[in-house]
Structure 1
Amino acid sequence: MKTDTNTKLILLHPPVHKQGNSHRLWLLFFITFFTFAFHLALSTTRDFITPTSTAATSSSTATSTFPLPTSITDALLHYAATANSTTPHMTSAELHSIAAVLRRCSSPCNFLIFGLTHETLLWKALNLHGRTVIVDESAFRVGQLEQSHPDIEAYDVQYTTKVSELSELIDSAREQLRNECRPVQNLLFSECKLGINDLPNHIYELAWDVILVDGPRRYFAAAPGRMSSIFTAGVLARSKRDGGGKTHVFVHEFEREVERKCGDEFLCRENLVESVDILGHFVLEKMEANIYEYCRNPTSSSTLPSSSSSQADD
C-alpha cells in the first residue's frame, strides 16, 4: 500500500467574520454597561444636590427679580444724606399721622401732594403700590425732581393768588358759591379764582384717597399762599367719583392765618379729626352736586392762634 506523499494537512481556522462579530458584541456590552452606570450615578447625585441647588437658584432668582424698590432705595439714601440738614421738615409725630392713614388704605392709595418738600421721596416710598402725584409752583424744581427720579409723577402749576388777598378771595368764593366756586364740580372747567384748573385732565378724574397741602412753600404778603391748594383739595374730595368714599386731607402749618381760615372755610372745622403739632387732619365725604354749602356748621372764627402774615417759610 502506497502512501500518498502529497497528502496535505488541513487546519480549520475560525472564520474571520465570526471573530469580528464577537468583538463588536463585547464592545457593545461594555458601552451599554458604562452608559447605564453613568446614568445611575448621575441620577443618584442629582437626588442629593437638587434641594441645595434649587434653594440657591430660588434665592438668586428672588434677589434678581425682586430687588428693593427704587423708591425705597432713593428715600433711604436721601434721608441718610440729609440727616443733619437744616431744611424745614415735618416732625416725627406729623409723619406718623400721615403714614398711618396710608397704611390703612383698603386698596392702593391715590395720594395727591401740593408742595415739593423734604419728605417727597418718603411719601413715594410709603405709598409703594399706590399712585403718588406731586404739584409744585416751581417748574425748575419739578424738572430737577423728574430728572433725578424718573419714576415720580410731578407737575408744576402757576398760582395767581397772594397772601395779602386772603379776605377778598374768601369773599369772592362765597359770592360764587352756587356757580364757579361751588363745592362739587370739575375744576378743569371752572373759572373760580381759587380753583386750580391747569393740571392734566386725569388729576380731576382720579378718586383721591389722601391729599396733603404742604405748598406753596413761602409765606409773606406777596407770596401765593395756600388758599388755592386748600380750596382745590376740598372740591376734589367732595367731587370724588367711583362710588365716593372718604378723603383724608392734611394741611401743614395749620397755625398760620391762611391755612387756618381756608381750612375753616373750605374743609370745615367739623371735619377736623386730629391736630398733631402744626398738622391739621380733615376727613371729607363725597357730596351731592345740588348741595351748595361747604360746611354744615359754618364758623367765622377759630380757636387756634393767628400767625403774622410776614412769617417766612422757605
Structure 2
Amino acid sequence: MKTTAKFIVVHPSVHKPGGAATTSFHRVWLAVFMLFFIFTFVFTLFTTRDASTTARTNTNSAAKSKSQLPKPVLDALLHYASSNVTSYGRMSSPEIKHIAAVLRRCAAPCNFLVFGLTHETLLWNSLNHNGRTVFVDESAYLISKLEEKHPSIEAYDVQFTTKVSDLYDLIEHYKGEVTNECRPVQNLLFSDCKLAINDLPNHIYDVAWDVILVDGPRGYSGATPGRMMAIFTAGVLARSKRGGAAMTHVFVHEIEREVERVCSEEFLCGENLMETKDLLGHFVVGRLEDAGNRFGFCSGTVSPRST
C-alpha cells in the first residue's frame, strides 16, 4: 500500500513560551533607546549653539568695552569740541602740552591739585584719569554746578580772604612770621598765617601732591582775590610733603602778572624755576626734611641766629 509523506510545520510561537510578549518587550526598549538618542542629540545641538552664542556675545561685549573711551575723557572731548577756543584766559597749546607731559611722566597714581576752575578743568581731570585730581575754587556756585554735571569730580570751595591790592602788606606779614606761623614746613590746617589756606577738608593736607597748578582765583583787578594764598600754600605743601616723590611740580599760570611773579619768587623761588612756556611758569620744589639754618623758602635765606 502506497503511503504519502506528510510534513508538519511547527510555528515557533506555538512552542516557545512567551514569544509574543518578548517581541513586544524588545520593541519597547528599542523605542526608548531611539527616544533617548534623539533627546541627547537635540540637547547637545542646542547647548553647543547657546554656548557659542554666549561666547560670541561676551567677546563682542569685551571688545566694545575695550574700545570705549573712559567717561572723563569722553566728557572732555565733547566739551572742547563744542567750545570757542578764542576766549580770554584759556591756556595756549604749548602750556597745555607742557603740563600734560609732566602728568604722563608722573608715577601712577598721580596726585594733582588744581587751584581754579577754568576752561581746562575737564581736560585736567581726563589727563590724570588713573590718578587723583582735586579742584579748589573761590566760587561755591561754580563748584556746585561742576559737581552736578560731573559727580565723579572732586572739588572744594574756599574763602580767599585776601585781594590783589593786599600784596605787599601780606609780604611784610610773611617776613615777620617766617619763623613762626608762615614757616615753609608746617601743618597748614593749624596755621594762622594770613597767606595759608587752612579751611580745606582735613584729608587734603595729608595727600602727597605730585603736581600743583595755580590758575586761580581770578586776580585780574585790585579788588578781586589774588593768588598769593594759593602760591604760598603750594610752596608749603611741596616742602612739607610726606611720602611719594621727593619733588613736586608746581605750575603758575599768568606768571607775568605782578602778584604771580612776586609770590613765585618769594615762595617757589627762582632757583626752582625749570622753564616757562608762554605765560606758564614751571617750578620743581623739593621737600625739606630738615630746614636747618634756613628760615625762608629759598636757599639764599638763613637763620637770624646764624647770621
Give the structure-1-normalised TM-score: 0.83
Q: 1:17 to 1:55 in 2, by over 3 A?
A: closer
Cα shift at 1:26: 2.4
Tell me the residue number matched to 1:27: 31
- For 1:296 and 1:214, the matched residues in 2 are separated by 26
% identical equivalent positions: 55
**C-alpha contact (below 8 Å) 1:227/1:258 kept by paired residues:** yes
Q: Deviations over 1:259-280 (max 9, x none)?
A: 0000000000000001000000
Tell me the residue number matched to 2:209: 208
Cα shift at 1:106: 1.6
- For 2:290 and 2:126, the matched residues in 1 are separated by 35
Q: Deviations over 1:104-136 (max 9, x none)?
A: 012211000000000000000000010000000
- What amino acid is the match of 2:265? D
1:293 and 2:296 aligned: yes
Please say which of residues 228-237 and 62-71 is displaced more in the overlay: 62-71
- What amino acid is the match of 1:19? T
Q: How many residues align?
A: 285
- For 1:40 and 1:241, the matched residues in 2 are separated by 63
Cα shift at 1:223: 1.2
- What amino acid is the match of 1:297? G
- What amino acid is the match of 2:35? I
1:229 and 2:233 aligned: no
Q: 1:97 to 1:54 in 2, by over 3 A?
A: same
1:117 and 2:118 aligned: yes
- What amino acid is the match of 2:273? L
- For 2:46 and 2:170, the matched residues in 1 are separated by 83
**C-alpha contact (below 8 Å) 2:163/2:219 kept by paired residues:** no
After TM superposition, which residue ranges in structure 1, 4 or more long, deviate above 2 angstroms? 10-20, 28-43, 52-57, 61-68, 83-88, 288-291
Q: 1:244 to 1:85 in 2, by over 3 A?
A: closer
- What amino acid is the match of 2:28? R
Q: 1:87 to 1:285 in 2, by over 3 A?
A: same
Tell me the residue number matched to 1:76: 77
Cα shift at 1:64: 4.6
Cα shift at 1:103: 0.1
Unaligned runs of at least 5 residues, structure 2: 1-9, 302-307
Aligned-pair Cα RMSD in Å: 2.5
Tell me the residue number matched to 1:260: 261
Give the structure-2-normalised TM-score: 0.85
1:169 and 2:170 aligned: yes
Cα shift at 1:178: 0.6
Tell me the residue number matched to 1:240: 241
**C-alpha contact (below 8 Å) 2:113/2:213 kept by paired residues:** yes
Please say which of residues 33-42 and 18-27 is displaced more in the overlay: 33-42
Q: 1:37 to 1:231 in 2, by over 3 A?
A: closer
**C-alpha contact (below 8 Å) 2:210/2:247 kept by paired residues:** yes
Please say which of residues 272-281 and 76-85 is displaced more in the overlay: 76-85
